[in-house]
A and B are shown apart, each in its own frame.
Chain A
């Protein structure tokens, strides 16, 4: 089963029984994206940042708003919306106002290519994973804009730290994915899901071939790199509150801060979804045919479950380790992760040719 037949299936919608016009499809996709990204952010923040972190630190977490604090984010969101948008008088107003929007757009664009079911994608790009990595790197521009335009030395230092870190960890991130691409023989995320479902591990095809088994090194590299790309601890030098009082975000308030917040945790969800698509088989489950009608409904739920499992790993590490020093952080990327990623590519290439 190739992308080709997948796209053909998408053209004739089997669920609705009729085909929607291009503009109707696009409108639905845009509305869905506007709903899904903030919702995903809310779920990640509520589950992990509020409740899981509280559990690991023997606290209750938010308990007042709603049952077990379930409505805490509604309260926080309303608070953010009500606040005045402040900017330092020396700030570069236009760049300052644009920076959160750039970060947010980069996050939204990542979600476009993630497949959630047999026909469930906003765009089935042939360069799927390559596109996702490219647009995610745009968020650095937003961060640098924010750091520079705030007219604050802590913001500038934070922005520079973020720039250096994101450039350094972009490389192992891209290189880690290449192993998967070699194995699947495609950049398209839907093809990668299919390849994992129908693949075999050295001739044994019992559960297909989730690449976390054959590409375990790649998975570790990918997880470490996205931890750094998301500036989550232990890679949170750019926003270290004890050193640069919050880094590039320091001057932002209200809705603009909320934009950065959604961009950060929305990207955490998006990257987790990509990791589960690349390494855990995406929306597919073993023993169930990819074309089965039930997958239209089960697929998104399966992907959501896997995504939450991966996000759990990110936040588990986040709450467990102290932060790196700047020189350790750079050395770790350039002297350890990148050579390891290159070795992984060579080994994968050789094995692909031999078997």
Chain B
């Protein structure tokens, strides 16, 4: 098994286990690191330290995406949030005010609004998750492992040309079919693919996508207008 993200669900389906032991252990480790770092982001007395702890939190999010086999989202998280946003944040802090050691005046008088915002956000997100998923579990794998005979039929139904390159007269025909099926088992079991992400963004979610694009463009123009005020 050469791909961590690729193989998690496939392994699950092969072993048929219900308890996701490895996933749970790693989720706990990542979650503890994230919670600790998130607390440090707001309690630390140094702005740069806060930004660096934010890197840990965002990296933890990416790691959780990988545990959920959402490889594309995880990589996007790293590229956009750590590689661009936090770097810009650090860049901005260093360009303006980045003292070493402890800073005294980091807190301001907006504690109450902050608490209200945080609680409201938590409530909205919890409600959304609860409403959408209720007590659903992760989707069950459709097949028992790579040698489930139903897989061949399923593969032929969804991708009729899959075995066209092979020669049925070949002695190794069955082995070659098995190889192709085995490689695709995790795919057939619902592991998310990059193409699937792009297909959904540009079909089902095209309007929200365009709306966000316009919003970002507006923010960009707004920033330029503010910065160039003469």
Contacts and interface: CB of A to CB of B under 8 A. Distances in A.
A12 B179 contact: yes
B166 to A, nearest CB: 10
B34 interface: no
Given A90-B100, A167-B88, A123 B2 contact: yes
Contacts of A166: 87
A281 to B, nearest CB: 22
Contact of B180 (A5, A10, A123): A5
- By secondary structure, the A interface counts as helix
Interface string B171-183: 0000000011011
Interface in A82-100: 90-92, 95
B200 interface: no
Size band of the B side of the interface?
Answer: 35 or more
Nearest to A163: B91
Most buried by A among B3, B4, B84, B180: B3
Interface string B95-109: 100101100000000
B48 interface: yes
A95 B90 CA distance: 13
B48 A148 contact: yes
A7 to B, nearest CB: 4
A147 B94 contact: yes
B149 interface: no
A258 interface: no
Contact of B82 (A4, A9, A138): A138
A15 interface: no
A295 interface: no
B5 A133 contact: no
Contact of B94 (A7, A131, A144): A144
Interface stretch (B72-80, B112-120, B129-137, B208-216): B72-80
Interface in B1-36: 1-6
Contacts of B183: 3-8, 11
B90 A163 contact: yes
Interface residues of A, number: 48
Given A5-B179, A8-B179, A126 B6 contact: yes
Nearest to A166: B87
Nearest to A109: B78
A304 to B, nearest CB: 21
A118 interface: no
Contacts of B204: none
A134 B62 CA distance: 12
B194 interface: yes
B78 A134 contact: yes
A124 B2 contact: yes
Nearest to A4: B183
Interface string B39-60: 0000000001100100100000
Interface string B125-152: 0000000000000000000000000000
Contacts of B88: 167
Contacts of A149: 100
B98 to A, nearest CB: 6
B194 A134 contact: no
A121 B2 contact: yes
A124 to B, nearest CB: 5
Given A12-B179, A130-B75, A125 B5 contact: yes
A7 B6 contact: yes
Interface of B: 1-6, 48-49, 52, 55, 71-72, 75-76, 78-79, 82-84, 86-88, 90-91, 94-95, 98, 100-101, 179-180, 182-184, 187, 193-194
Given A122-B2, A123-B4, A125-B71, 4 more contacts: A7-B183, A95-B52, A141-B55, A141-B86
The 10 closest A-B pairs by CB, nearest first: A137-B83, A134-B79, A8-B179, A8-B183, A4-B183, A163-B91, A134-B78, A7-B183, A144-B90, A134-B75
Interface of A: 3-12, 22, 25, 90-92, 95, 121-127, 130-131, 133-135, 137-138, 140-141, 144-145, 147-149, 151, 156, 159-160, 163-164, 166-167, 170, 174, 187
17 contacts: A4-B183, A4-B184, A7-B183, A8-B179, A8-B183, A11-B179, A11-B182, A12-B179, A92-B48, A126-B72, A130-B72, A133-B79, A137-B87, A141-B86, A144-B94, A160-B91, A160-B95
